[in-house]
Amino acid sequence: MFLGMFNHVQAQKRVYIPERGEWFNLEVTTTFLMPQSEELVQRPGYSISFSLMGEKLFGVSHWGFGYGIGFGAYHYNNNLNVRTDSASGDAIYSLLEDGSYDINRQTFQYIEVPLELRYRTMSNNKGRYIRIYPYVKLGAMVRDFSLYSRGDYSVAHFSNKGSEWFRASAGIRFGYWIFNLYANYELTPLYKTDVTFENSPLELSKFRTLNVRLSVSL
């Protein structure tokens, strides 16, 4: 009798737990700063991130808690130029005129900790299921830099003091089998409130990142 009950419980687990373990996420993202501004001229940005995941199941059910650690690099293409003051070392921001650059990009790199509340529908006979994962992601910056290029001239500035080191975002992930679609919004600003502007009163601290992502889970 006890053996029969054990086998029944194991069968239930096989129904709910995916046969393809979700231990690795690879994400490719388009990035935009919100809200839209007439002064800040944006071109599509992108990001690439990955994370190694673990999971705590909530008994024999559709629910689980996912946790992990990873790395993300976020690239923003716009007319926001950053240079370093030679005397103070502070970052000085300005808005470039359209046509005055070929590439003007800011890059932020983070060690990230994703936390997910995981819900799965019942698996089909191939072990495939639909997933719905609301989540938060916390990040600590390890490097940031800006790149300006026009023609044969290019210059990069590293560790800009106007950037916030901590990042927090929230979103939701929908997926089937190994494929996912993300929508993600940044809760914290990219830039500090006291940045120095040369030619515009643009308030950088009000901008947040909106990401739409495609990912693969293995």
Q: Which pLDDT score is estimated for 20?
A: 45
3 backbone dihedrals φ, ψ, rounded to 5°: -65, -40
Across-strand partners of 171?
135, 184
All structural domains of the chain, each given as residue ranges with its CATH number in brackets, are 2-217 (2.40.128)
∠ CA 55-61-63, rounded to 5°: 45
**pTM, 2 dp:** 0.83
Query: What burial class does residue 130 get, using C-beta atoms within 10 Å of its C-beta: 0-12 exposed, 13-18 middle, 19+ buried?
Result: middle
Is residue 4 predicted with pLDDT exceeding 60?
no
Q: Out of 38-47, 83-92, 136-145, 204-213, give the one with best mean pLDDT.
A: 136-145
Per-residue confidence at 16, pLDDT binned at 50, 70, 90? very low
Residue 99 backbone dihedrals phi, psi, to 5 degrees: 90, -5
